[in-house]
Amino acid sequence: MAVFEVRPMATFSGLRGVPLLALSHNALFPALTVGPLGVVIRVIRSHELRYDEIDTVTLKWMLGHQITFVPRSGVRTFIASFAGEAALAPVLAALQQHGAPLDAAALTRLASASSRSA
């Protein structure tokens, strides 16, 4: 399976269950890599999460389209923020292809994006 690399608008690390609070952020050199074994997200430094370490991948609209990676353990979450649908759809497709645990909102958005392109 191929590796998918994208430059989000910004990346953040936050606390589980505490929205709009960023412990750290990166708007200069954000990066998200979706690979066959997991994701790598660069906030201040790179954080690697294997798919079996991720509890859920959520999608929200909050000052942009936000994909949040919630690990099974620990208190931190990792967020990649995208400006529009065009950048969001390929990321969700790559996550689904690699078996990431997408939430209902992400699956719905992915289905609507694929029906528009068909």
**Beta-carbon count within 10 A of 105 CB:** 13
Query: Is 41 within 8 Å of 47 (Cβ atoms)?
Result: yes
Per-position DSSP letters for 31-100, written without gaps between them: EEEE-SSEEEEESSSEEEEEGGGEEEEEEEESSSEEEEEEESSSSEEEEEEESSHHHHHHHHHHHHHTT-
User: Which residue segment(s) compose the domain that 73 sits in?
Assistant: 4-117
Question: pLDDT tens for residues 19-30?
Answer: 777 889 899 999
Does residue 85 or residue 65 have the better pLDDT?
65
Using a pLDDT cut of 70, give the percent of the chain over it. 97
Residue whose pair of structure tokens reads 């954080």 in the numeric block: 47
Total count of domains within the chain = 1
Q: What was the pLDDT predicted at 18? A: 83
Q: What was the pLDDT predicted at 21? A: 77
Strands of 38-42's sheet, edge to edge? 4-6, 31-34, 38-42, 46-50
Residue whose pair of structure tokens reads 């292809």 in the numeric block: 97
The CATH number of the domain holding residue 27 is 2.30.29.30
pTM (2 d.p.): 0.91
Question: pLDDT tens for residues 50-68?
Answer: 999 999 999 999 888 999 9
